[in-house]
Structure 1
Amino acid sequence: MNDIKPAIMMVLVFTIICGGIYPAVVTGIAQAVFPKEATGSFITDRSGREIGSALIGQPFSDSKYFWPRPSATTDFGYNPAASGGSNSGPTNPDYLKTVANRVKALKDTGVSTGIPTDLVQASASGLDPHISPEAASVQIPRVAKARGMMEDKVRRLVSGHTEDRQFGIIGSPRVNVLALNLALDRLAP
């Protein structure tokens, strides 16, 4: 009995420290130092209304928009509550059929060769907001045509929205689809 009382006290003390004080301090520091990131990296429209997050992909299917990487989340695409990959391997017939359908859909829009994998395969989280610059490039003709814009102008916009590797060494260059599509809307609604 003498041993149980200190054990219970330690559980309570560490619960208060680790479950209350520490998270509150870290959250406070994060909101002070990185206010945008700590609150979800929301992207707003011209009126200040939040329309999405720079960290979570958004569904776009209209030909006048760049299409994101496919989502593997269930119920509806890009559902953050259902984050996760499909866990289907390259020999799974359903997965192969899904990828083939995505390739066909891209070919139907005029993409004939060099389809980047990130346009037909979902990311591990199913929520990736970025596509590769190559995935954006193959979509330029479709987007430019749908908006009545010159391809060079759209290409410059893609180039301007291409983010470099993090710290110059981590990851690959990438394009945030939501930010790019919002920039397109500002140029040619």
Structure 2
Amino acid sequence: MRIPSWISQHLAAVRAVVLFTVLTGLLYPLLILGVAQIPGLRDKADGSLVKANGQTVGSSLIGQSFTDADGNPVPKYFQSRPSASGYDPDATAASNLGPESMEDTLGDPALDPNSEEGNGSKNSLLTDVCSRSKAVGELEGVDGSRPYCTADGLGAVLRVFYSDGVTGKVTRAVSVNQACPATPFIAGYQGVPVECGKFGEDYSKGVLVPVRGSAPEQSAVPADAVTASGSSLDPHISVEYAELQAKRVAAARGVSVDKVTALIGEHTDGRALGFMGEPAVDVLALNLALDRM
């Protein structure tokens, strides 16, 4: 009995689905799993896990925070760089904010910013950098000021209104990142008093003007202390940032700064392939070495 062509086509399709399911869904994954268990690859395939006293304490490829239950830095540990995902491997992502992100979204003062819904506020990249630099400076006992940052850790930007749109006489200036009743970081701009920002007002017709301020050109707080990596999982920090933290860590542990600095050197990885990037410090390995010491 001849099978109708449409049935033959469907049977061929079913056989193809079964075949490729077995090949790509079973045999290929099992083959890769077997290859991954070859000595030398096994540790990396299992997540490059780091163990201390028989317990898994992290991964050599994924950073982590060294903070207390309230999110405050633990003084005896070196701190990692900021993370846009909170070092969650399931939510790895960058903030996708660039140099033009200077203006914050002010929150509704009638809403609770600590509630689950929040108050609708959102920081610009500039304010994130400024607030982090201020916090690191206070933690490490150095000047955390940066150009284009206010003393209270916000982006120092104005919306400036001109009589002829983008030219002419200045008629109004608003410190858009400082919500009322805050005192603006500068009292006046080109003869006009500077106002604090008000929730719900539209300032889009004003020209966005960053104000440099009097901060030194080179901040005492390095860039990786205030910016997250592209993956938000980077387990390393710069040697400069590690050395900035050495004094605090040494004091918290009651050891000499020289001893802590020596450990930094022992846990500094060189440039990739000998020429790419900069030397970097493995934060987890360094903190584990401190605990063993």
Q: If the length of structure 2 is used for normalisation, what is the TM-score?
A: 0.58
Q: State the identity %.
A: 46
Aligned equivalent of 1:49, options 52, 55, 77: 55
2:35 aligns to what? Answer: 29
Range that drifts further, 118-127 or 106-115: 106-115
CA deviation map 1:58-95 (0-9, x unaligned): 1112121111011101xxx2111111111122222322
Aligned letter for 1:53? Answer: S
- Going from structure 1 to structure 2, the CA distance change for 1:167 and 1:6 (only over 3 Å counts) comes to farther
Report the alpha carbon displacement of residue 165 of structure 1 after superposing the two structures with TM. 2.3
Q: Give the C-alpha shift of residue 163 in structure 1.
A: 1.0
C-alpha contact 1:85 1:123 (8 A) present in aligned 2: yes
Counterpart check, 1:39 vs 2:46: yes
Q: Deviations over 1:132-160 (max 9, x none)?
A: 21221111122122222211111110000
Amino acid at match of 1:59: S
Q: Which has the larger radius of gyration?
A: 2
Distance 1:159 1:173 in 2: 10
1:78 paired residue number? 87
SS in 1 for 2:87: coil
Higher strand share: 2
Cα distance in 2 between the residues matched to 1:42 and 1:111? 35
Question: How many correspondences in the alignment?
Answer: 183
What is the match of residue 134 of structure 1? Answer: 240
How does 1:83-162 map onto structure 2 within 5 Å? 83-92=92-101, 93=103, 94=123, 95-108=125-138, 109-112=140-143, 113-162=219-268
Task: Look up the equivalent residue of 1:68 and give its one-letter code.
Answer: S
SS at match of 1:175: strand
Bigger share in helix? 1
Residues in 1 aligned to 2:46 and 2:222: alpha-carbon distance in whole angstroms: 32
CA distance in 2 between counterparts of 1:7 and 1:169 reads 52
Output the amino acid matched with 1:20.
L
Q: Deviations over 1:34-61 (max 9, x none)?
A: 1111111111112x01111111111112
Q: Which residue is equivalent to 2:215?
A: none
Contact 1:131-1:177 within 8 A present in 2 as well: yes
- Unpaired runs of at least 5, structure 1: none
Q: Distance in 2 between matches of 1:54 and 1:118?
A: 18
Q: Which residue does 1:18 correspond to in 2? A: 24
Distance (Å, rounded) in 2 between the aligned partners of 1:18 and 1:135: 46
CA–CA separation in structure 2 for the residues paired with 1:57 and 1:31: 24
Structure 2 unaligned spans of 5+: 1-5, 67-72, 104-122, 144-218
Which is further off, 10-19 or 49-58? 10-19
Query: TM-score, length-normalised on structure 1?
Result: 0.88
Helix, strand or coil: the match of 1:139?
helix
Letter in 2 for 1:111: V
User: Take 1:11 and 1:3, find their aligned partners in 2: how far apart are those partners?
Assistant: 12
Shift of 1:117: 1.2
User: In structure 2, what is the Cα distance between the partners aligned to 1:170 and 1:20?
Assistant: 39
The 3 A distance-change label for structure 1 pair 30 and 166 is: farther
For the Cα contact (< 8 Å) 1:111–1:139, is it kept in 2? no
Residue equivalent to 1:182: 288
